[in-house]
Chain A
Amino acid sequence: NAGVTQTPKFQVLKTGQSMTLQCAQDMNHNSMYWYRQDPGMGLRLIYYSASEGTTDKGEVPNGYNVSRLNKREFSLRLESAAPSQTSVYFCASTKGTPGAGEYYGYTFGSGTRLTVV
Chain B
Amino acid sequence: EDKVVQSPLSLVVHEGDTVTLNCSYEVTNFRSLLWYKQEKKAPTFLFMLTSSGIEKKSGRLSSILDKKELFSILNITATQTGDSAIYLCASTGTASKLTFGTGTRLQVTL
Interchain CB contact (< 8 A) of B96 among A41, A42, A44, A97: A97
Q: Total A-B residue pairs with C-beta atoms closer than 8 Å?
A: 64
Q: How far is the CA of A110 from the CA of B38 in the complex (A)?
A: 11
Alpha-carbon gap, A21 to B91, bound state (A): 26
Contact, CB under 8 Å: A58 / B102: no
Most buried by B among A43, A101, A102: A43
B41 and A110 contact, CB distance less than 8 A: yes
Interface size class of A (residues with CB under 8 A): 20 to 34
- Interface size class of chain B, counting residues whose CB lies under 8 Å from the partner chain: 20 to 34
- The yes or no answer to A103 lying at the interface (CB within 8 A) is yes
Which residues of chain B come closer than 8 Å to A96, judged between CB atoms?
A: 96
Chain A contacts with B in 9-65, Cβ cutoff 8 A: 31, 33, 35, 40-45, 48, 58
Name the segment of B42-50, B55-63, B65-73, B75-83 touching the other chain. Answer: B42-50
Whether B97 and A98, one on each chain, are in contact in the complex, defined by CB atoms closer than 8 angstroms, is yes
Taking Cβ atoms with an 8 Å cutoff, the residues of A that contact B are 31, 33, 35, 40-45, 48, 58, 90, 94, 96-106, 108-111
User: Other CB < 8 Å A-B pairs besides A42-B103, A102-B96, A106-B43, 4 of them?
Assistant: A43-B90, A102-B31, A103-B92, A104-B96
A to B CB contacts below 8 Å, 14 in the list: A31-B96, A41-B102, A42-B100, A58-B97, A90-B42, A94-B96, A97-B96, A101-B29, A103-B32, A103-B92, A106-B43, A109-B42, A111-B41, A111-B42
